[in-house]
Chain A
Amino acid sequence: MSRANFLRVIVVSLLFALVLQPEWFAPIFEPFTPPGAVVIYDRTSLLSLSLSHLGIVAVASLAAIIVAVLLAILVTRPQGKAFLPLSRTIANMGQTFPPVAVLALAVPMLGFGAGPTLVALFLYGILPIFENTMTGLSTLPPATMEAARGIGLSRRQRLIQVELPLALPLILTGIRLSVVIAIGTATIGSTVAAHTLGEVIIAGLLTNNTSYVLQGGLIVGLFAVLIYDALTQLETHTRKRLGVM
């Protein structure tokens, strides 16, 4: 086993233990707990919080991927060029709006729960994917594109068979950035009663219980690290396939 894989196994095991058997870590968190307070978060199961957290991130990211990639395809077509500045503005606005503000604005419309969080993560996730997909689709090797036209591939065939596969590594980079940001940002969803790991952190902050904050933060951090790593691997793999390493 390579050193990297060894490290992966350790991190995955640690994460599983933290989520499934948090009481094992009681002695470690004990010093961070105020006298008389509970050491290990027990109001909800950490497993259920983790799954719901990842679910919200997955749904929001999937929506962001679909919208961002479609938008990037549209504005890189000749007939969609006119929309480029507008799309850029919209994507940038999504990014400048702090997710907390989106939450505050979305609650009156969508009520408490997962809804406002999904909207905030979705808006926040579009920009990196949009920008990267656009870069990928507009920096394709000119000789390959010329040949694709010259041998008689239709526009649609060129997009599906040549442009998207060649832009894939860059699109994946955008997705990675977006997903990792979303994993962290989803924690604040718990301020409006979304069922995420942020609940543990917020509970800790409210009761001055650093142990809770550490538990929530550690689990979220480990998820982010592992998912970042997995997506990086996927990217390296596709890059190698394209011979562009």
Chain B
Amino acid sequence: MIEIDNITKIYDGRAAVEAVSMTIESATITAIVGTSGSGKSTLLRMINRLVEPTTGQVRINGEPTAGLPKNALRRRIGYAIQGHGLFPHHTVAKNISAVPRLLGWHKDKIHARVNELLELFSMPPDEFRDRYPAELSGGQQQRVGVARALASRPDLLLMDEPFGALDPIIRTRAQADLHRIQRTLGSTILLVTHDMEEAIQLGDQVAVMDQGQLVQHGTPAEIITNPATEFVAEMVGGVDRPLRLLSLLSVSQILENGTAEGDPLDEKSSLREALSVCLWSGRSALPVERNGSPIGRVTLEAIRSRAEGTHEPG
């Protein structure tokens, strides 16, 4: 558990981050979202003390970070940034093993860990271990950057716009990968983004920052249905709100008995996808299947009722 306790950073008499307190539960993803200059990156960088807080405290599993030597603290916290920041003169394996090497892990253990991570990111170790970053695609570089941040099994993974430099298609895949890997490893992730869509997709919790202050912290559904300020409402995007809400719910949550015409949809699909299919194919109900066998249907009517703002998400 990471506790941020009343933390403030003042630059030239102006508060970049002002009295922010929040708690991040272990094994969850928290997305900090805000416009540029909102203080979200400063907040993130105060956790591994790349920026020293003016006042306030950060505790990792109860232990205040201020008491630890900076470099020892950073070696316990994974750090992945926009544009990956890989060492161009080191191979993929050497990049990934940077922190374990600093921690003095045994060679065999490092070798095994690098292979394990490459497998996890669907990059065959035999093929990728000895390549240099310049020989990889943007998506692969980004994955190696995240693998490096995860290498020493850190207490916490900090990510600063990790997907910012990727094109939209690769970005979507990278987000799905991160989500899968976080669930597999049970990592605690704090991610900074300016993209509300990304925050909603990835975050178990979303924290919205505006002008140095934390204006709302809650589940994605809470943020969408109940924005605390006008700024948050603007961030969640007035007209897109129903669609964002639907993207959080899966078809299985409003499953009805019965059948429908046409191609079936998997029960894990989001309601947003279901709506899209309904509209595109001109149907008012879709059959739903689980592992390939039909289990019921979902109707346009039910989707619509879920998209209404007054309705609490289930």
Are chains A and B native binding partners rather than an unrelated pairing?
A: yes
Interface 1/0 per residue, B62-87 and A, CB below 8 Å: 00000000111111001101111111
Instruction: Give Cα distance in the complex from A166 to B84, angstroms.
Output: 16
A221 at the interface (CB under 8 A from B): no
Which of B84, B98, B132 is close to A151, meaning CB atoms less than 8 Å apart? B98
Instruction: Give Cα distance in the complex from A9 to B142, angstroms.
Output: 45
B302 at the interface (CB under 8 A from A): no
The number of residues on chain B lying at the interface, defined by a beta carbon within 8 Å of a beta carbon of chain A, is: 30
B308 at the interface (CB under 8 A from A): no
Assess the A243–B134 pair: CB atoms within 8 A. Answer: yes
Which of B89, B99, B102 is close to A242, meaning CB atoms less than 8 Å apart? B89
Interface 1/0 per residue, A234-245 and B, CB below 8 Å: 000000011110
Instruction: Give Cα distance in the complex from A126 to B88, angstroms.
Output: 28
Q: What range describes how many residues of A lie at the interface?
A: 20 to 34
Assess the B89–A241 pair: CB atoms within 8 A. Answer: yes
Q: A241-B132, A243-B88, A243-B134 are in contact. Are A150 and B79 (CB under 8 A)?
A: yes
> A144 contacts which chain B residues (CB < 8 A)?
85-88
> A157 contacts which chain B residues (CB < 8 A)?
102
Which of A152, A162, A244 is close to B71, meaning CB atoms less than 8 Å apart? A152
Instruction: Give Cα distance in the complex from A150 to B160, angstroms.
Output: 11
Assess the A152–B89 pair: CB atoms within 8 A. Answer: no
Interface 1/0 per residue, A126-168 and B, CB below 8 Å: 0000000000000001011111111111100100011001100
SS class, residues of chain A in contact with chain B: helix
Assess the A153–B102 pair: CB atoms within 8 A. Answer: yes
> B73 contacts which chain A residues (CB < 8 A)?
152
Q: How many A-B residue pairs have CB under 8 A?
A: 73
B133 at the interface (CB under 8 A from A): yes
Assess the B88–A166 pair: CB atoms within 8 A. Answer: yes
Which of B75, B88, B135 is close to A152, meaning CB atoms less than 8 Å apart? B75
> B149 contacts which chain A residues (CB < 8 A)?
151
Assess the A244–B88 pair: CB atoms within 8 A. Answer: yes
Most chain A beta-carbon contacts within 10 A, residue among B48, B87, B133? B87
Instruction: Give Cα distance in the complex from A153 to B79, angstroms.
Output: 12
CB nearest neighbor in B for A144: B85
Instruction: Give Cα distance in the complex from A148 to B50, angstroms.
Output: 11
**CB of A164, distance to nearest CB on chain B (Å):** 10
Instruction: Give Cα distance in the complex from A146 to B72, angstroms.
Output: 16
**CB of B9, distance to nearest CB on chain A (Å):** 17
Assess the A243–B133 pair: CB atoms within 8 A. Answer: yes
Interface 1/0 per residue, B98-123 and A, CB below 8 Å: 11001000000000000000000000
Assess the A151–B79 pair: CB atoms within 8 A. Answer: yes
Pick 10 A–B contacts, CB within 8 A, sort by A. A141-B85, A143-B81, A143-B84, A146-B50, A149-B74, A150-B158, A162-B87, A242-B89, A242-B134, A243-B134
Known: A151-B75, A152-B72, A166-B88. 11 other contacts (CB 8 A): A143-B84, A144-B87, A147-B145, A150-B79, A152-B99, A153-B102, A161-B87, A162-B87, A241-B89, A242-B134, A243-B134
